[in-house]
Amino acid sequence: MGVLSILDRSHSVAKPGFSRWMVPPAALCIHLCIGQAYAFSVFNLPMSKLIGITKPDPDDWKLTDLGWIFSIAIFVLGFSAAVLGRWVEEGGPRRTMFTSALFFGGGFLISAFGVSVHQLWIVYLGYGVLGGIGLGLGYISPVSTLIKWFPDRPGMSTGMAIMGFGGAAMIAAPLSVWLISVFSTPTHVGVAETFVVLGLVYACFMMVGAAIVRLPPPGWKPEGYVPPTQPKKLVTTKDVYVYQALKTPQFWLIWIVLCMNVTAGIGVLSQASAMSQEMFPGRVTAATAGGFVGLLSIFNMAGRFFWASTSDYIGRKNTYFIFFVLGFVLYALVPYFGGAGNLALFVLGFCVILSMYGGGFATVPAYLKDMFGTRYVGAIHGMLITAWSVAGVLGPVLVNYIRQYQLDSGVPKAQAYNVTMYIMAGLLVVGFIANALIKAVDDRHHMEPETVDDVVGVA
Amino acid sequence: MDNDSNGGGTTPLELVLAWGFVGIPLLWGVYGTLVNALKLFQ
């Protein structure tokens, strides 16, 4: 236990001279690893050929069963972030990052065992449950730390970390494909070995983040930073206790804002490849559609930093208003771009949409900080992540089922997404209304200063 | 070094190493994706 005390919150406090610019790389060490989840689909096909190798075998796992690995991981991500948020806040970032690394890396190792003995339930348990807990802890752990180090630029700071989550698949996908090819032989698919390597590499990378991260000393402020003496209308200087936040309408309105923004974006992202090929038959092939998806990933990542940083200047509420208004216009125009055969505008429209999808994720921690203060923002953010879990199911289901309904009704493939785009635009109207209803949190929900000290438990 | 540091703590080398540690893999991933994305416009 003595050795593990270095993980304590009290041992994570920065000494004089520590630069706050060390904290974003620490956060990125975590998010660049756990964002691998977005690239997990590269394992599905190889894992469906573990026995048959080159020909179908009835004992091989089916793609539909393999799809559950990712779904379980994302569900557990939301669940663990919601349930363990308070533990994250009170234990500090280093303990959480360390635990996240053990769970995420360990999940890969257990999955490797599951693959080697060909037991899918072990992979569900490994990557899905244990890896999912690592995902949830890792996702929220750096958020409140960054906000405390960057009170002058909370959007930019959390945008940097969450940008890593969006960009991680760009590293993980080619790395995983390469590792599988290295470990594969004519009689063996090298998934288990790839899982072992990834588990160890990710655990080590995340441990570096846990080692670097520091909390600011109590009362620390950036040099030259003067906290606003006159609080802004929608930026509180007080704190709301984690479970008290659930009793405020603001929490649930922001939940709807995030859910609508994510539902629209994730629906498109999940079908981007097929959609581009079907809307531009003959012009977009499977290979070029892969390039389109890659381009969307870059805008998804860049939007996280750009929009969250912009929100520091124009405010969170205005940033989401831009997402909903501009998103509505673009979703409504996409069918027109498709009908006119204008590929360039189609691609540009979706790139902007995906930048706002990423921006929605990255701006929301700062929105919560504005509403509920910095003390429990990580835990409150954890509970808000459930909106992502819901959207993760809602978005793809909406796109898939409406497309199928359109095709069954005799609509040509090239126009099968038109109604979906209009429904997505409608979801953004719901988000716009929820955002418009957000006002400052009532004073009765704020913690008294002495309560804050009791709960914080550090100077 | 960033002007928020009080001197003597984090060195510029540590900052470069920390940012390089995360930045190099990220840039490698972005570069590969961009090269792939260019196929869309060829």
Q: Does B5 touch chain A (CB under 8 A)?
A: yes
> Could you tell me if A173 and A97 lie in one domain?
yes
Kindly state whether residue A452 falls inside one of the protein's structural domains.
no
Query: Based on the number of CB atoms within 10 Å of its own CB, is B36 exposed (0-12), middle (13-18) or buried (19 or more)?
Result: buried
What is the average pLDDT across A259-264?
A: 92
The more confident residue out of A279 and A362 is: A362
Kindly state whether residue A115 falls inside one of the protein's structural domains.
yes
User: What is the pLDDT at residue A39?
Assistant: 86
User: What is the pLDDT at residue A439?
Assistant: 92
Structural domains counted in chain A: 2
> Could you tell me if A142 and A271 lie in one domain?
no
What is the average pLDDT across A111-136?
A: 96
State ipTM: 0.85
How far is the CA of A143 from the CAs of A38, A75, A147, A156, A454, in angstroms?
Answer: 20, 20, 6, 11, 22
Q: Does B24 touch chain A (CB under 8 A)?
A: no
Average pLDDT along chain A: 88
Q: Residue A380: give the domain boundaries.
A: 242-447
Closest Cα partner for A50 from A192, A212, A227, A170?
Answer: A192
Kindly state whether residue A326 falls inside one of the protein's structural domains.
yes
Kindly state whether residue A106 falls inside one of the protein's structural domains.
yes
With pLDDT > 70 as the criterion, what percentage of chain A qualifies? 96
What is the average pLDDT across A322-328?
A: 96
Grade residue A266 by pLDDT with cuts at 50, 70 and 90: confident
Domain boundary among A193, A212, A231: A212
The whole model's pTM is what? 0.87
User: What is the pLDDT at residue A414?
Assistant: 77
Q: Does A342 touch chain B (CB under 8 A)?
A: no
Q: Write out the two tokens for A201.
A: 């590499």
With CA atoms as reference, the chain B residue closest to A214 would be B10
> Could you tell me if A208 and A282 lie in one domain?
no
- Enumerate the β-bridge partners of residue A446: A240
> Could you tell me if A280 and A169 lie in one domain?
no
Kindly state whether residue A48 falls inside one of the protein's structural domains.
yes
Residue A215 in 3-state DSSP?
strand
Kindly state whether residue A236 falls inside one of the protein's structural domains.
no
Check whether A438 has a pLDDT greater than 90.
Answer: yes
With CA atoms as reference, the chain A residue closest to B35 would be A291
What is the average pLDDT across A404-424?
A: 85
What is the average pLDDT across A26-32?
A: 96
Q: Does B12 touch chain A (CB under 8 A)?
A: no
Check whether B8 has a pLDDT greater than 60.
Answer: no
What is the average pLDDT across A162-186?
A: 92
Kindly state whether residue A322 falls inside one of the protein's structural domains.
yes
> Could you tell me if A202 and A317 lie in one domain?
no
Kindly state whether residue A8 falls inside one of the protein's structural domains.
no
> Could you tell me if A271 and A412 lie in one domain?
yes
CATH at residue A401: 1.20.1250.20
The more confident residue out of A82 and A267 is: A82
Check whether A236 has a pLDDT greater than 70.
Answer: yes
A291/B36 CB distance under 8 A: yes
Tell me which range, A2-11, A365-374, A399-408, is most confidently predicted by mean pLDDT: A365-374
> Could you tell me if A57 and A165 lie in one domain?
yes
Report the amino acid identity of residue A129. V
> Could you tell me if A190 and A289 lie in one domain?
no
Grade residue B5 by pLDDT with cuts at 50, 70 and 90: very low
